[in-house]
């Protein structure tokens, strides 16, 4: 429990630090939002009035404090391009992104573990060559290329879904999930290849160790050695890697949401970057940062539960 408390404390500190750095970076770079909002034709008096209205005349730390407080109360300021509260714009988009990343993660975990174990058993040179080449090919399939390919094959040729026409999650949940499945496959394929590769090399590394030889000398079969001893030892780095994967999926989702026109926060982030809508960008970045740090912490907690000796 002490361990968990320490890790959660670290999480809070890291997220606060990230939020502070993000806030500072955007304050430095974005110039004066009042001038941005009013355009070049604004009179100095109007700019000054708006600055006071937006609270921009207050010192930096006070503004950071009230922005942070806003995070907890749901008041994140107003989007520059939509003139609506940021939270009202962001909140409805969270569900589709959560569903997309969730499905991707389940696909990756369910498929890569058995494939990794299977791949570790392949020994012959030719099979190793083919496997490695196939693995590299899957890793070379970026989600946006795969997304265009799947849209063409399953959307245009086979009519399994309508690319670009995302069914609403509330009105047609089954249709929406089916649509998200294709997008999730695009995210999952290269990550599965990476996880399989990691598992394979970890298992191969473990197999070289002396305890495996000792177990074999005692008469344990290779399957038994794998199940009883080796898998336990490769579990820890795999959990860490899957934690990192959960974070990476977010990165891939940002692009895949664009490919499939899924109204998620990744797609919103991209359009807000292009529009220089800084309040929205700040909010989404901090939300995603929280998510990234959370998954890392979860992976550490799971590893600690598996092996108490880890400090």
Partner 1 sequence: MAARKSNPFLILGGVLIAAFLALAVFGALFSPQDPNAMQAGEKLLAPSLTHLFGTDRFGRDIFSRALAGLGTTFFVAAATVAIGAVFGTLTGALTGYYGGVADAALMRLNDTLTAFPAVLLALLAISLLGPGKESSLVLALGLVFIPGYARLMRTAFASPSNRAFVLSARLMGAKGARIIFVQLLPNTLPTLLPALTIGFNNAVLAEAGMSFLGIGVTPPDASLGYMLSEAQGMLAAAPWYAACVGGVIVLLVFAVGLFGEGLQRRMHT
Q: What residue ranges bind partner 1 (CB under 8 A)?
A: 14, 17-18, 22, 25-26, 29, 129, 132-133, 136-137, 139-142, 144-145, 148-149, 151-152, 155-156, 163, 244, 247-248, 250-252, 254-255, 258-259, 269-270, 273-274, 276, 278, 281, 285, 288-289, 292-293, 296
CA 65 from centre of chain: 27
Write down the least CB distance from residue 48 to partner 1, Å.
26
Write down the least CB distance from residue 117 to partner 1, Å.
21
Structure-token match 């990744």, residue found: 266
d(CA 200, CA 118) in angstroms, rounded, equals 8
Nearer to partner 1 by C-beta: 78 or 248?
248
- Residues 278 and 24: beta-carbon distance below 8 Å: no
At residue 187, φ and ψ (nearest 5 deg) are -70, -40
Write down the least CB distance from residue 79 to partner 1, Å.
14
Nearer to partner 1 by C-beta: 14 or 109?
14
Nearer to partner 1 by C-beta: 226 or 289?
289
- Residues 103 and 181: beta-carbon distance below 8 Å: yes
Question: Which letter does DSSP use for residue 232 in this model?
Answer: H
Write down the least CB distance from residue 149 to partner 1, Å.
7
Nearest in space to 101 (alpha carbons), one of 265, 298, 235, 261: 265
- Residues 155 and 162: beta-carbon distance below 8 Å: yes
Q: How many Å from the N-terminal Cα to the C-terminal Cα in the chain? A: 12
Nearer to partner 1 by C-beta: 126 or 174?
126
Nearer to partner 1 by C-beta: 108 or 255?
255
Nearer to partner 1 by C-beta: 149 or 310?
149
Write down the least CB distance from residue 185 to partner 1, Å.
16
Write down the least CB distance from residue 251 to partner 1, Å.
3
CA 242 from centre of chain: 11
- Residues 254 and 184: beta-carbon distance below 8 Å: no
């Amino acid at each position: 429990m002490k361990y968990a408390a320490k890790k959660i404390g670290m999480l809070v500190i890291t997220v606060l630090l990230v939020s502070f750095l993000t806030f500072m970076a955007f304050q430095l770079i974005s110039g004066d939002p009042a001038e941005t909002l009013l355009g070049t034709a604004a009179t100095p008096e109007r700019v000054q009035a708006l600055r006071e209205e937006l609270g921009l005349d207050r010192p930096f730390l006070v503004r950071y404090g009230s922005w942070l407080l806003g995070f907890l109360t749901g008041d994140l300021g107003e989007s520059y391009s939509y003139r609506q509260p940021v939270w009202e714009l962001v909140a409805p988009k969270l569900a589709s992104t959560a569903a997309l990343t969730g499905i991707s993660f389940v696909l990756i975990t369910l498929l890569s573990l058995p494939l990794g174990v299977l791949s570790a058993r392949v020994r012959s040179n030719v099979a190793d060559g083919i496997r490695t080449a196939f693995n590299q090919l899957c890793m070379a399939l970026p989600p946006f290329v795969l997304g265009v390919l799947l849209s063409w094959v399953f959307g245009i040729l086979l009519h399994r879904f309508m690319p670009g026409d995302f069914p609403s999650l509330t009105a047609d949940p089954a249709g929406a999930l089916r649509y998200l499945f294709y997008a999730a496959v695009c995210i999952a394929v290269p990550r599965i290849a990476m996880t399989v590769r990691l598992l394979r090399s970890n298992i191969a590394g473990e197999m070289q160790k002396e305890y495996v030889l000792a177990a074999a000398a005692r008469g344990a079969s290779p399957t038994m050695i794998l199940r009883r001893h080796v898998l336990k030892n490769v579990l820890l780095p795999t959990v860490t890697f899957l934690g990192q994967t959960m974070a990476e999926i977010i990165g891939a989702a940002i692009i895949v949401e664009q490919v499939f026109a899924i109204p998620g926060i990744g797609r919103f982030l991209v359009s807000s970057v292009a529009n220089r809508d800084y309040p929205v960008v700040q909010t989404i970045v901090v939300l995603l940062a929280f998510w990234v740090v959370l998954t890392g912490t979860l992976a550490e907690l799971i590893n600690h539960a598996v092996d108490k000796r880890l400090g």
